[in-house]
């Protein structure tokens, strides 16, 4: 049985830590949301999370630099969704005239149709 420390070492060997190129910058995200504090470290975390989600969906490590314009646009929109998601307690953003306004559970699912051309056939395993 592996100890927690041994497990961490094993994981680091099997999946080395990579620096992921973000497809959207914190400045772009802050500008799009009219957010004034561009030094907030959460901006970079959200940009990285959006890029990682796109790479995971497409089944690739990373797109070449610069990424295709469609990927950059999807990353910006997805980063905004990820940024705003903590404000939606229990998946509910608020109440409207027609009832509750809910947030999607799978944020990347909104972009399936746009991401299909970038899907790598070698990316997903056989179920």
Cβ atoms 38, 10 nearer than 8 A: no
Task: Evaluate whether residue 127 is within a structural domain.
Answer: no
Domain span holding position 32: 22-118
Task: Evaluate whether residue 124 is within a structural domain.
Answer: no
Which residues are CB-neighbours of 71 under 8 A, at least 6 positions away?
A: 23, 54, 63, 118
Q: What are phi and psi of 68, to 5 degrees?
A: -55, 145
Task: Evaluate whether residue 91 is within a structural domain.
Answer: yes
Cα–Cα distance for residue pair 94/20, rounded to 1 Å: 34
Taking the whole predicted model, whether its pTM rises above 0.85 is answered as no
Segment 53-86, tens digit of pLDDT: 999 888 888 888 888 999 999 999 999 988 988 7
What pLDDT was estimated at residue 102? 72
Task: Evaluate whether residue 77 is within a structural domain.
Answer: yes
Task: Evaluate whether residue 41 is within a structural domain.
Answer: yes
Task: Evaluate whether residue 55 is within a structural domain.
Answer: yes
Per the structure, the count of domains in the chain is 1
What pLDDT was estimated at residue 127? 43
Mean pLDDT of 41-46: 94
């Amino acid at each position: 049985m592996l100890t927690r420390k041994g497990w961490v070492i094993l994981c680091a060997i099997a999946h080395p830590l990579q620096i992921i190129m973000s497809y959207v910058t914190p400045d772009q995200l802050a500008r799009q949301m009219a957010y004034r504090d561009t030094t907030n470290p959460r901006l970079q975390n959200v940009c990285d999370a959006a890029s990682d989600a796109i790479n995971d969906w497409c089944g690739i490590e990373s797109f070449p630099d610069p990424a295709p314009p469609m990927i950059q646009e999807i990353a910006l929109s997805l980063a905004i969704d990820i940024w705003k998601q903590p404000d939606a307690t229990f998946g509910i953003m608020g109440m409207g005239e027609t009832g509750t306004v809910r947030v999607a559970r799978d944020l990347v699912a909104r972009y399936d149709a746009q991401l299909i051309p970038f899907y790598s056939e070698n990316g997903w395993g056989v179920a």
